[in-house]
Each structure stands twice: as C-alpha cells, then as structure tokens.
A = this chain, B = another copy of it.
Amino acid sequence: MGTEGSDAIVLLSGGLDSATALAVALEEGLHCHAVTFRYGQRHHHEVEAAARVARSLGAAEHSIITVPLGELGGSSLTDRSVPVPPGRTDEEMEGKIPSTYVPARNTIFLAYGLALAEITQSDFIYIGINSVDYSGYPDCRPEYVDAFRRLASLATKRAVEGRPPRIMTPLLHLSKAKIILKGTELGVDYSVTLSCYDPDEQGRACGRCDSCVLRHRGFQEAGLPDPTIYQPGAEP
C-alpha cells in the first residue's frame, strides 16, 4: 500500500466501530498511536474498554487525554441530569438528533488528532465514524468529513510542508453488520468492546439505548452471535 511503517493516530473510544478502525489501520501495517478521550462520559468503563481494545489488537501506544467537554454541558452523555433515552424506532431515528449528541465532539477529537499527528509525524488519522447507522449526529456525515479533510490540508505545519495528515474513515459507508463482518475477519474480539451509553457498575450493557439496539441488530444481520455482556435480563 506504500503506507507500511508510517505512523497513524487512531481515535479509539472503546466501542465496536473504533476497534474495527484500529484493526484496519494495523492491517495496513501502520504504527498506530491509539488515543482515547476522557471527556466526562457517564462511565469509566468506556475508557477501560478502549485500553483492552488497544492491548488486544496490538496498538504501538495508547494515550488517554482528558478534555473538558462534560463540564460544558449540553448532552445526556456528559450531563448526569439528562436521562439517556431508550432505543427509538427507525422513524424516530431518521433525521433526528438525539440528546446523546455531544456538541462538536468529533470536531474537538479530530482537532486533537491534528495536533497529535503533527507531534508524532503521523501521515494518517483514523476515525471510526459511520454515516449509515449513525444515530443522527451531524458530525458523522460524509460532507462533514470532507470539510474536515479540507481543513486538515491547511491547518498544520506538516500541511504547509506538503504532508497533511490523511483523515481515514474506513467505516463511513458500511452498515453495522458489514463493520462487524470486516472486524471479525481482521480478528477483532468484540467481547472486549463496549458500545452501551448506560452500562451498570460492572460495565454490562443496558440493551435498551440506541447504541445497544444498533449493535445487537448488527450482529443479527451479520449472522454472528452477539458477544456483548448484558445486564441480567437486558439482552435485546
């Protein structure tokens, strides 16, 4: 591929999608710096899942960066006074932005990705965003990614020197089922990932939130057993 041995920043959340993105980057022979943001998520289980994923797949490095997003408010994912909504119907999901949306989250994460790519001299930034089963977030759309690519081509010293980092979105146009099939082929152990917005104290999935519903449906459509560890009686 001509990329063998290059460095890549991989944004890693602990969920299914970013684990798959990391597996894709590793398959390309890239030296992967996995980065997880601790941003006032409701639970520390997400960060722990990211560490398990980085370890199990063999990232060269895993950094955890604490960014203030929770204290800004405005989302049920970071604001404990806003309840996480239960899974919605397809009609409800269509075109609506749920309360789990975190304002400008991907822009902030990708901005840090640009800084880290500059510092580590990485030619690639991988992000596992997805526009198919995307829960209605504005910053998961292809046109958003294109706009960020344009920005990345101008924003940093390496960009000015003719080596802008490439923003890689290998999952952008894949359904959840196709992501799962791809990751399974690449050896991802999805039992160590965590997608749930509202896990219990043991880090077990709720089975009800958008993310649980989409994930479970993905395994069903892929014709694979769902390895998710659910709270007792919560399997969808």
User: Is the Cβ of B144 less than 8 Å from the Cβ of A147?
Assistant: no
Name 27 A/B residue pairs within 8 A (Cβ), A-sorted. Answer: A65-B68, A66-B68, A67-B67, A67-B68, A72-B115, A72-B119, A102-B115, A103-B116, A103-B156, A104-B114, A104-B118, A104-B156, A106-B155, A107-B151, A107-B155, A108-B108, A108-B115, A138-B154, A138-B156, A138-B160, A139-B155, A139-B156, A141-B154, A144-B151, A144-B154, A147-B151, A150-B150
A binding-site residues for B, Cβ under 8 Å: 65-69, 72-74, 97, 101-108, 110-112, 114-116, 118-119, 138-139, 141, 143-144, 147-148, 150-151, 153-157, 159-160
- Which residues in B have their C-beta under 8 angstroms from that of A141? 154
Number of copies: 2
Cα A119 to Cα B156 with chains together (Å) = 28
Interface of A is mostly: helix
**Distance to closest chain B CB from A143 (angstroms):** 6
Contact yes or no, A138 B151, CB < 8 A: no
- Which residue of chain B has its CB nearest to the CB of A144? B154
- A102 CA to B65 CA in the complex, in Å? 17
Q: How distant is A34 from chain B, measured CB to nearest CB, in Å?
A: 15
